[in-house]
Structure formats: C-alpha cells, structure tokens
Amino acid sequence: MKTAVVKPAFDVAEIRAQFPILKELVHGKPLVYFDNAATSQKPRRVIKAESAYYATINANVHRGVHTLSTKATEAQEAARETIRRHINAKHVHEVIFTSGTTASMNLAAFSLGQLLLKKGDEVLISGMEHHANIVPWQMVCERHGAKLKVIPVTDSGEWEIRRSDDQMIRQFTERTKILAVSHVSNTLGTINPVKELIAEAKKRGIITVVDGAQAIAHLNVDVQDLGCDLYAFSGHKAYGPTGTGVLYGREELLERMPPWQGGGEMIDVVTFEKTTYAKLPFKFEAGTPHIAGIIGLGEAIRWMEDYDKAAMAVHEHKLLEHATKELLTIDGLRIIGTAKEKVGVISFVIDPSSASGSGVHHYDLGTLLDQQGIAVRTGHHCTQPLMERFGVSGTTRASFACFNTVEEIDSMVTATKKAVKMLR
Amino acid sequence: MSTSSTLVQAQQEVVDEFAMFSDWQDRYEHLIELGKDLPLIAPEHKTDGNLVRGCQSRVWLHATPQNGHIHFTADSDAMITKGIVALLVRVYNDRTPQEILGASTEFIDRIGLREHLSPNRANGLSAMIDQMKRYAVAFSSSTKAS
C-alpha cells in the first residue's frame, strides 16, 4: 500500500512554473504544447537530477569498487525502488530498465515467443494497438509459426469483447498463449478494461502483457491489482527523460523467460562453451544502461507523486471535457474515439459540411496550428490498422498533460477555427 | 505564365512574390490560392504508381513529353501540399529535360518556405523536385534513344 502523505493543492500556475520549456515562443507566439501522448515536457527537477548525475557522480554502475561507481549504482537502484513502489510491484528485481516501451515490448515478445509459442498457437492483441504492440508479435509469430488474432474495436473506440451465452470471452481459444493489449489507447484515449480481460485470460492460463505507455502519466497503475504478468511503459511520456523505459514482470515468469540481448551486466559466468546468466533484473539488462535517464525517471515519478496523480487526473479530465465541448462547435468536426472512459486525448477529423464546404486535411491543420504556436500531432499515430478501422487516413490529435490549461484549449479552438476558415 | 519566361526567371518571380508577404497567414493563403491553379492530374493517372514517396500527405505527379518539353499535372489531398506542388509545377512545367536537370533548386530557400515547413514537409518538397528530375532523366534518355 502507498503511504498517505499530505500533498499540495493542485495549482496549475505553480506546476507550469516548473516547466522551463513553457516559456519558449514558437513562431513568435507562446508555446501551447498538446503533444504529450508523443512525449511530455519535463519539470526542472527531472532535468536537474539528470544533469546532477553527470556533474557529480558519473560512473558505470554495478562494476566499480570506487566511490563514484557506488554512488551511481545507489542512485540508479533507488530509482528502481521508486518505480517498484509506484506501480506496486512485489519485488524490486521485477523492474527491468529498457530504452522505452518499444524495447520493453520487443523484449517481451522475443522472450515469451521463445518460451511459449509453438506452431498453431495464438497471440491475441486488440485493434487499437500501437505498432510497437503489433509488429514485435508479428515477428515472433512468423518465427514460431503462430497466429496473431485481433480483438475488434467498436465505433466509439472500445474493445468489442465478444461473449458467448455463458459469458466466456470468445476471442480466447485453446491455442491462445499470450494476450498483449494497451492499457490506454494512444490515438483514441480510451481507458481499456484491462483488469477484467486479464482476469479472464488468467482463468485460461494465458500470459498477459500490458502496454502501459499512455497510462503511466495519467492513471494510478498497480500491477498486482491488475494481475498482469508483464507491464511496459516509457519514462518520457511520464515527465521523465527520453531513452528510458520499464518492463515490469512477475518474478516467477521472469525467472523462466530467456534473456533477449546478450552482453555485459547480464551474465554470471562466461566461458566459450557456455554462459550462465545473472540474476533478475540484470539478466535482461545487457550493456550499460541509461543511468542518467533512469535517475531522471525516478525523480519524475517522485515529482508526480508529490503533486498527486489523482489530482492531475481530475484536472486533465476537466481539460478533456472542455476541449470536447468547444471543438464540437466547429462545423464538420468529428471526434474519433468517444469511449466513456478516456484520458486527455482527443483525435479528430474535419469532414466536408453542406453549410461550410470542403473537409480539412489533418496535415494542413497541423501546419497552420503550428504557425500559431500550437503543437498537435497529425497523421496515423503509429496505429495504421486503427485508422483503417475508422476509414480515415489520419487525424489531428491533441493530448493533454497536467500543466495544460483551459485557456490553452480556448487558444487551440480559436486557432483551429482560423485555420479551417483559411482552408475551406 | 511560366512558358513566357525562362526557368530562372520563373524562379525569381516566385521568390519576388513571396517576398511581399511578411505575415504567415498571407503566405499560406497565397500558397493555398496557388494550389487552386494547379493543372490537375487526370483521374486515370491518380494511381499509386504516380504517388511521390516521402510525403506525409498524398501527392500525385504525372508527366508527359510534349514536343521535347515535359508537361506536368499533379494533385494532393492536402491544400498546403497542393500549393507547394503547384508552385513547383509553375516553375518546371513545359521545360525541356535539360532545363529541368540544369536548374538550381536554391530558389526554394530564398522563398523562405523551408523554414516554415516541418522537416517532413521539407523532405516532401525535395521528394517532389527529385521526382520531376527523374522524369526529366527518363524523357531525355528516351529522346536520345529514338
């Protein structure tokens, strides 16, 4: 259980003051940063923690007998403990550092494929997955002769979990060995019922992997409560440095999983005949890790905890509701992803309208918003199958973080109206 | 318009035209207007084979030889991209392959457009010019062969 501490009241102005980048101008206009689902901005504390490592304790971890190496090791391992506590993992060695969610998913897919998949077996994913939770599975399925199965997505952007009369989820078959799904959709913002699906999978002995890239900054993630076997996330979408990520794994499973990459740090004894591997978590951490980044990530997690993730979530939900309401006043604007449970992500397209004329291409809109200082994402968001499902070539996506404001949303809506007027 | 002047003159005209705009909005509105004058590609040529690779929005470019010159038609599903391709077609249209291959592309930098484009779009612009030059190479060798 997390210890209760007194947290400061949520004050967006005070939070904004901690993000140096928010003072930058873009094309001479104040930056409005709405691309947090791609990467969030970093508070000063995180930037300082990362640079303090280089300035004062830079050394390689786990190897040296000298003082700096000990300090660097302690700082990195303190970050591991912070993350363990934050996601409520049982053991600190269940937290594996990677370079990001993509590396975590590749590790999971390669290693689980090796351990579990035989010809004719199935891996079940969903239709809203990021390419990083599709392509690694396709690669291992091809290698082991297994099949990739997909949970369809409804018009509102939710899983269509089909049930038979006795409430069994029909997408699971006797050959399903692995379930790999996202906690939150990066394109739609949908918060998926992962806990429920994991419970069903566990009844059938299916190994469960969760892509938590979009959840970690916005939801309280408790891996024991979710019951998942593996949980992957990136540091840089949660106010931490780029090039950092985590793969949480249940101890018993990690012990059985073969290593993914070989090299230094992950070995016990090496001879030319045979190598034995190091204990967890080092078995999965070949090579020198991104020590500075990991220390920064630990700081980012502590920063989020200090400011109370639940209060952040309330604020972000307010932003989502305001943006949804205001954007819908634009003629022809259609939101892709209207699930009941969403984080602060809005994907939209602007269709032709009988009153106002032609539709607006997301790329044109993104360009003209950028000219007005507003950073949004345009395109397929690394979810091409999902774009096909909705019959669109791409969307414009605004994704919010705790430092965004209602006023910024109003600026975006005004800027969008101006751009649409120019383009129609 | 372009056929009455040399390719270099046409480039200079474009540079002068864009120099008149101090404001992003005017510059983009002009680009959007240019797109409306683009010689549109015939529907049967709007094929995947005519898509310019390297653009995030879809751009189709078709070329036909006409009396030793190359005639371009094009289209795009995004209006700003359509404006950019229209601007290039205006400069390069109905020129000989030799003129196209011999032309410098530094006018693009002088328009001040590149700095206003995302790297993706700037790459797309280079991809469009490269595609025009590839047509020029293809047509100049086929002219020599016949």
A315 plus A301 within the same structural domain: no
Task: Flag if B80 and A27 touch (Cβ within 8 Å).
Answer: no
Contact with chain B for residue A286, Cβ under 8 A: no
Residue A423's pLDDT is: 93
Instruction: Tell me the nearest-neighbour CA distance from A234 into chain B, angstroms.
Output: 25
B117 is catalytic: no
Residues 6+ apart with CB under 8 A from A17: none
Q: Are residues A235 and A91 in the same domain?
A: yes
Is A29 a residue whose pLDDT tops 60? yes
Q: Are residues A257 and A396 in the same domain?
A: no
Is A421 near chain B, with CB under 8 Å? no
Asked if residue A159 and residue A69 are part of one domain, the reply reads: yes
Which of the listed residues A266, A282, A305 is the one where a domain comes to its end? A305
The pLDDT value recorded for residue A374 is 97
Predicted confidence (pLDDT) at residue A284 exceeds the cutoff of 60: yes
Q: Looking at the structure, do residues A256 and A326 belong to the same domain, yes or no?
A: no
B79 closest CB neighbour out of A364, A378, A393: A364
| pLDDT for the residue numbered A62 | 87
- The answer to whether residue A43 is domain-embedded is no
How many domains are contained in chain A? 2
Share of chain A above pLDDT 70, in %: 97
- Among A358, A363, A368, A424, the strongest candidate for a mutation testing the B interface, having the largest count of B CBs within 10 A, is A363
Query: Which is nearest to A329 in space by CA: A420, A423, A422?
Result: A420
**Which residues of A are catalytic, by number?**
382
A3 belongs to a structural domain: no
Q: Which residues of B touch A393 (CB under 8 A)?
A: 58, 77
Return the CATH number at A165.
Answer: 3.40.640.10
Domain residue spans of chain B: 7-145
Domain boundary among A262, A281, A305: A305
Does pLDDT of A197 surpass 90?
A: yes
Contact at 8 Å (CB) between A323 and A338? no
CATH fold of B7-145: Sufe protein. Chain: A (3.90.1010)
Cα-Cα end-to-end distance for chain B: 30
φ, ψ of residue B124 in degrees (nearest 5)? -60, -40
**B30 contacts chain A (CB < 8 A):** no
- Distance (Å) from the alpha carbon of A417 to chain B's nearest alpha carbon: 13
Q: Are residues A88 and A148 in the same domain?
A: yes
- Asked if B78's CB is within 8 angstroms of A364's CB, the reply is yes
- The DSSP string of A171-239 is T--TTEEEEEEESB-TTT-BB--HHHHHHHHHHTT-EEEEE-TTTTTTS---HHHHT-SEEEEESTTTT
Torsion A87-A92-A93-A97 (CA) sign:
positive
Which whole number is the average pLDDT over A126-144? Answer: 98
- Same domain assignment for residues A323 and A247: no
pLDDT for position B145: 45
Instruction: Let me know whether A194 and A71 are in one domain.
Output: yes
Residues A320 and A391 in one domain: yes
Supply the DSSP symbol for B45.
Answer: G
A393 contacts chain B (CB < 8 A): yes
Residue A122 lies in a domain: yes
Residue in B34, B52, B55, B87 annotated catalytic = B55
Per the domain annotation, does A104 fall within a domain? yes
Contact A422 B80 (CB under 8 A): no
> What is the per-residue pLDDT for A418?
96
Q: How confident is the model at residue B142 (pLDDT cuts 50, 70, 90)?
A: low
A383 domain residue, yes or no: yes
Say if residue A193 is in the same domain as residue A125: yes
State whether A360 and A385 are in the same domain.
Answer: yes
Residues A161 and A266 in one domain: yes
Say what the ipTM of the complex is: 0.87
Any idea which of A206-210, A273-277, A320-324, B115-119 has the lowest mean pLDDT? B115-119
Which of the listed residues A286, A305, A324 is the one where a domain comes to its end? A305
* Residue whose pair of structure tokens reads 């992957």 in the numeric block: A232
Which domain, by its residues, includes A329?
12-30+308-423
